[in-house]
Chain A
Amino acid sequence: ILNVEQSPQSLHVQEGDSTNFTCSFPSSNFYALHWYRWETAKSPEALFVMTLNGDEKKKGRISATLNTKEGYSYLYIKGSQPEDSATYLCASFRRGGSNYKLTFGKGTLLTVNP
């Protein structure tokens, strides 16, 4: 994998449903994996910054896991609410020589219907 790939591209769920998204990223030169939440007309805001293989993070009803060896991360939302509707971005922070580069996937657009 050369780029950050996210799936699905969009998702419609009913209020109360649990859902999950996938992020695939280059495993080479890995430094950190980020998840951002991006609401319409706002700027992306970080949900999680993950660095360790096997890491799991949780914030309320949202959690994420990380596998750096195979290059994937999952974001889970339990009991979706309409206010969870947003685009969820995954980003890879990779080493490039002595510098680091932050590259985003195209995001998963989540719509939660009441």
Chain B
Amino acid sequence: DAGVIQSPRHEVTEMGQEVTLRCKPISGHDYLFWYRQTMMRGLELLIYFNNNVPIDDSGMPEDRFSAKMPNASFSTLKIQPSEPRDSAVYFCASSFLGSTEAFFGQGTRLTVV
């Protein structure tokens, strides 16, 4: 398996635009987590899925953020409209309950100007 794959690696967009971040988890993993890394808050959990079902989205900062997992091999995190304060590195991680170890993607560095 190639590991957790995120795309794009870098995204620069203008304020007000829609941004979609993508994640392909490791095959067979039943948990998928979206995190945002900032200097102030560290690695902040935004939302997580179990078997494609969103379980806890209490970390999603605002209604501008939404996430979906239409199948076991794909998830998206969408920001609409984007704002400069959304600039951060967004990580996706997947895990299998049997071992619980989380495997991270390379992250998407988002810059909103």
Q: Which residues of A contact B (CB under 8 A)?
A: 31-32, 34, 36, 42-46, 49, 51, 89, 91, 93, 96, 99-107
Question: A34 touching B105 by the CB < 8 A rule?
Answer: no
Give min CB distance, B24 to chain A, whole Å. Answer: 14
Tell whether A104 pairs with B107 under 8 Å between CB atoms, given A34-B100, A34-B102, A99-B55: no
Q: In the bound complex, how far is the Cα of B100 from the Cα of A96, in angstroms?
A: 14
Inter-chain pairs besides A102-B102, A106-B43, 13 sampled, C-beta below 8 Å: A32-B100, A43-B106, A43-B107, A44-B91, A46-B101, A49-B100, A93-B100, A96-B56, A100-B31, A100-B50, A102-B48, A102-B93, A104-B45
Determine which of B41, B48, B97, B105 lies in contact with A43 in the assembled complex, contact meaning CB atoms within 8 Å. Answer: B105
Contacts of B43 in A (CB 8 A): 44, 89, 104, 106-107
Closest CB in chain A relative to B109 CB, distance in Å: 10
Count, chain B residues at interface, CB 8 A: 24
User: When chains A and B are docked, how far (Å) is the Cα of A100 from the Cα of B49?
Assistant: 10
Q: A49-B100, A100-B31 are in contact. Are A106 and B55 (CB under 8 A)?
A: no
**Interface residue? B42 (CB, 8 A):** yes
Residues of A within 8 A of B99 (CB): 49
Q: Can you show 7 pairs from A to B with CB atoms below 8 A apart?
A: A43-B104, A43-B107, A46-B101, A102-B33, A104-B35, A104-B43, A106-B41
Q: Please, which residues of chain A bring their CB within 8 A of the CB of B42? A: 104-107
A-side contacts of B95, CB under 8 Å: 102
B92's nearest neighbour on chain A, judged by CB, is: A43
Q: Which B residues are CB-close (under 8 A) to A96?
A: 55-56
> A49–B101 contact, CB under 8 A?
yes
Instruction: For residue B1, give the distance in angstroms from its CB to the closest CB of chain A.
Output: 15
Instruction: For residue B30, give the distance in angstroms from its CB to the closest CB of chain A.
Output: 10
9 closest A-B pairs by beta carbon, nearest first, are A106-B42, A43-B104, A104-B43, A32-B100, A46-B101, A99-B55, A93-B100, A49-B101, A99-B50
